[in-house]
Amino acid sequence: PLVSTRQIVDEARGKGVGVGAFNVITLEHAEAIVAGAEQAGAPVILQISENAVKFHGGRLTPIASAAAAVARLATVPVSLHLDHVEDTALLHQAADAGLSSVMFDASKLDYEANVAATRAAAEWAHERDLYLEAELGEVGGKDGAHAPGVRTDPGEAAAYVAATGVDALAVAVGSSHAMTTRTAKLDHGLIADLQAAVPVPLVLHGSSGVADDELRSAVAAGIVKVNIGTILNVAFTSAVRDTLRDPDLVDPRKYLKPARTEMSAVVQRLLTVLTSNGVG
């Protein structure tokens, strides 16, 4: 069924496990992610990024409606999240498009400007019962340049959450977006310090570059929501490439089907990792 992100994140936090939030670009992504979650027997978050909306011609509702329909038919809890929103006009479409949470990304702004923009976004969201995630300390990599050196300061994070009223906080602890190798080294001591300093659940972005053991340790140290995109596309595209070696193949289902199956296997495996160290 389609449930709220708040419900999924709170339940994961209560159990001491992580929850996977996977990026949806096409209908096949939504189908693969939900199939993988059903195979793992775990709840999952489908997230649509501002960049994915741009890919769909700036229109949120077609892909959001499709993802919501897949979620409603799922045998595990599934929620819908709008990811990395910088455009306030897109933020303002979230509630009507059936999403229960938004990540408002003002991480490129300096501290004071980030606080002001995020507080306004959180106030708007809370009037509509939307769960708002924000980022402090730029994770980096979205524009191509990896910046795994940036870190979120625990004291500043505590002040930021108090000043903005956000429901979840994305932190820079060593990961970086769009990595195709799982070689990121996380600062687990910093994750523990952040989790002690802020009252809201912590979110790890750029998790494709983080290996299984590092993910397990990150969840044990206090990460709850784990955002994963690139590694799904690595699996999907490599399956498409293999299938397309046949020059006579024309039916898209012939390459989309194995690609979707490969993607669901990655989701199942990652969700098993994220939920493996819970307390019940």
- C-alpha of 1 from chain center: 19
Residue 109 binding result from Zn ion, ligand G3H, none, given CB thresholds of 5 to 8 Å by partner type: none
Minimum distance of ligand G3H from residue 177's CB (angstroms): 4
Cβ contacts of 173 within 8 Å, gap of 6 or more: 151, 152, 186, 187, 190, 191, 194, 204, 218
Residue 43 binding ligand G3H, by CB under 6 A: no
CA distances, 188 to each of 88, 107, 167, 191, 242 (Å): 33, 21, 22, 5, 38
Residue 177 binding ligand G3H, by CB under 6 A: yes
Residue 106 binding result from ligand G3H, Zn ion, none, given CB thresholds of 5 to 8 Å by partner type: none
Minimum distance of Zn ion from residue 17's CB (angstroms): 20
- C-alpha of 149 from chain center: 21
According to CB under 6 A, which residues from 53 to 92 bind ligand G3H? 83-84
Window 167-206: contact mask with Zn ion (x via CB under 5 A): --------------------------------------x-
| Annotated binding-site ranges for Zn(2+) | 84, 105, 135, 177, 205
Cβ contacts of 104 within 8 Å, gap of 6 or more: 85, 91, 117, 118, 121, 122, 125, 132, 133, 134
Residue 146 binding Zn ion, by CB under 5 A: no
**What's the rounded Cα separation, in Å, for the pair 47 and 53?**
11
Residue 26 binding ligand G3H, by CB under 6 A: no
**What's the rounded Cα separation, in Å, for the pair 121 and 90?**
11
Residue 179 binding ligand G3H, by CB under 6 A: yes
For residue 266, give both structure tokens.
């990655």
- The size of the interface with ligand G3H (CB under 6 A), counted in residues, is 16
Residue 36 binding ligand G3H, by CB under 6 A: no
Binding site for ligand G3H (CB under 6 A): 23, 83-84, 177-179, 205-209, 227-231
- Catalytic positions are 83
